[in-house]
């Protein structure tokens, strides 16, 4: 049996139903900071380099187990049986720890804000005091819903009582159990089989191990979390939002200390998986989500959302919604641009006002300035598309590509009916509908004679203001023409 002072195993409890979330999604899979709650817990556990990591599941077992396998393929998933309670959840994990004689850290899958340093200090305290169990507590203003830490006259922990089982004096206690413990493995093996379900919820509480160990004269210690908010669990949507806010504050501050200018932290949201370089500037009401990267000197915002995007050095992205897009160095995007997946904007390129792009490459120094849709298109370098450019890429069955060569300049309100290719250096006239390939250096026009049908409004819209004005104008024109004839 392993029995070294540094041996550590981690058990993450993720079996709860989370009824107060009122959701079809398992509680531990609700997200903050771009990651599920349980992912934050797993991340914190990994910083401790445990020898074994076990996750106990039950409610919505398949969804949770599948997520765990994706988040951490090395984690061992264990199923809790029909016997309810956190004590039973840890007990069913013990067979995985056969032969293990070190310490066992027990974490809750719905306590996502624990700092690695807090866990490391908890383990150090446990070992320094040679304790059978050490628990993490927090002092909060409103302890409603949490288990209370009950101390004796000397200040030592006597037991933990859940709110539903507490008397009036115990309910008044504002030191709560954070649901984070370090146990000696042998203490768990001794005391877990002794748990019963004689309580208000009919469950086998892990917290009862504290009282059992204390009754056997073993050392039970407690350490208060330096940041009470970090120890709070998530049980409903309000607490989920609060946890997300606290995490975001941490993330924003960390990037500020790394040299990123964040003008309005209160309206800036950054996922834990995003990366920002020094001297990036983030303006108000901006969301930088998932695996987005922002390079040095880039200015993002205001009113911008980037999801899984890559933004190059010194690029500017204003009032834009972009997903899975690459924006080159020195490029300019927005305002009011919509970049859909597969957009690649080259260095010093431009996607301007009211432009939507999708699955398209726009080359270096090329511009799509305004009022355009560019889909399934390859655009070369130095191209300028006039206002209102539309790539008609879908024929109701298949999507086709448009290819535009280098140094192409197009007139306003062009439609490119794919599949079609515009050769290098070609130009198009205003209002052109391009249905055939345009050779390099050619001018493409869609010319048809203009036809005016005189008197159409008066005949077809009698009684309208337009008809009355048209009639007056025609009468005035006839009078003017008559006067000119007399003068002649």
Return the active site residues.
370
CB 310 within 8 A of CB 328: no
Alpha carbon 239 to chain centroid, angstroms: 18
Q: How far apart are CA 55 and CA 75, in angstroms?
A: 7
- Residue 339, φ and ψ in degrees, nearest 5: -105, 110
Q: Work out whether strand 103-108 and strand 175-184 pair parallel, antiparallel, or are unpaired.
A: antiparallel
Q: How far apart are CA 457 and CA 460, in angstroms?
A: 5
Q: Which residues are 368's β-sheet partners?
A: 351
Q: How far apart are CA 43 and CA 60, in angstroms?
A: 22
> Is 481 exposed, middle or buried, given 0-12, 13-18 or 19+ CB atoms closer than 10 A?
exposed
CA dihedral 455, 457, 463, 464 (to 10 degrees): -140
Q: Which residues are 76's β-sheet partners?
A: 54
Query: How is 443-481 classified by DSSP, letter by letter?
Result: EE---------TTHHHHHSTTSHHHHHHHHHHHHHHHHH
- Residue 343, φ and ψ in degrees, nearest 5: -85, 130
Q: Work out whether strand 175-184 and strand 133-139 pair parallel, antiparallel, or are unpaired.
A: antiparallel
């Amino acid at each position: 049996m392993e029995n070294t002072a540094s041996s550590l195993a981690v058990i993450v409890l993720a079996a709860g139903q989370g009824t107060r979330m009122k959701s079809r999604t398992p509680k531990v899979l609700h997200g903050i900071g771009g990651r599920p709650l349980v992912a934050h817990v797993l991340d914190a556990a990994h910083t401790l380099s445990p020898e074994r990591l076990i996750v106990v599941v039950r409610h919505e077992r398949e969804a949770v187990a599948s997520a765990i396998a994706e988040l951490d393929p090395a984690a061992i998933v264990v199923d809790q049986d029909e016997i309810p309670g956190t004590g039973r959840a840890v007990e069913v994990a013990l067979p995985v720890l056969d032969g293990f004689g070190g310490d066992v850290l027990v974490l809750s899958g719905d306590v996502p804000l624990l700092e690695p340093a807090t866990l490391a200090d908890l383990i150090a305290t446990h070992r320094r005091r040679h304790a059978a169990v050490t628990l993490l507590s927090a002092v909060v203003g409103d302890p409603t819903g949490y288990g209370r830490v009950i101390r004796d006259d000397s200040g030592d922990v006597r037991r933990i009582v859940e709110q539903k089982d507490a008397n009036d004096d115990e309910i008044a206690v504002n030191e709560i159990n954070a649901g984070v413990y370090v146990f000696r493995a042998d203490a768990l093996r001794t005391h877990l089989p002794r748990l019963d379900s004689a309580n208000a919820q009919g469950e086998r509480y892990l917290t009862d191990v504290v009282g059992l160990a204390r009754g056997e004269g073993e050392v039970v210690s407690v350490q208060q979390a330096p940041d009470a908010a970090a120890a709070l669990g998530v049980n409903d949507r309000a607490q989920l939002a609060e946890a997300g806010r606290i995490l975001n504050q941490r993330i924003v501050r960390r990037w500020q200390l790394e040299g990123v200018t964040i003008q309005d932290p209160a309206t800036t949201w950054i996922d834990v998986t995003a990366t920002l370089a020094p001297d990036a500037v983030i303006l108000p009401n901006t969301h930088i989500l998932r695996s987005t990267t922002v390079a040095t000197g880039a200015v993002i915002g205001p009113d911008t959302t980037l999801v899984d995007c890559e933004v190059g050095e010194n690029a500017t992205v204003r009032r834009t919604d972009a997903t899975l897009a690459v924006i080159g160095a020195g490029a300019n995007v927005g305002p009011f641009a919509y970049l859909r997946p597969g957009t690649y904007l080259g260095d010093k390129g431009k996607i301007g006002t009211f432009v939507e792009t999708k699955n398209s490459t726009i080359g270096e120094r090329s511009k799509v300035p305004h009022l355009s849709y560019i889909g399934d298109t390859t655009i070369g370098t130095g191209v300028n598309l006039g206002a209102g450019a539309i790539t008609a890429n879908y024929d109701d069955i298949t999507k086709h590509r448009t290819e535009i060569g280098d140094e192409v300049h197009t007139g306003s309100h062009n439609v490119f009916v794919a599949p079609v290719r515009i050769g290098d250096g070609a130009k198009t006239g205003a209002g052109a509908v391009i249905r055939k390939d345009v050779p390099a250096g050619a001018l493409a026009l869609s010319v048809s004679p203009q036809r005016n049908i005189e008197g159409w409004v008066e005949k077809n819209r009698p009684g309208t203001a337009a008809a009355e004005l048209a009639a007056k104008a025609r009468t005035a024109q006839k009078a003017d023409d008559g006067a000119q004839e007399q003068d002649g």
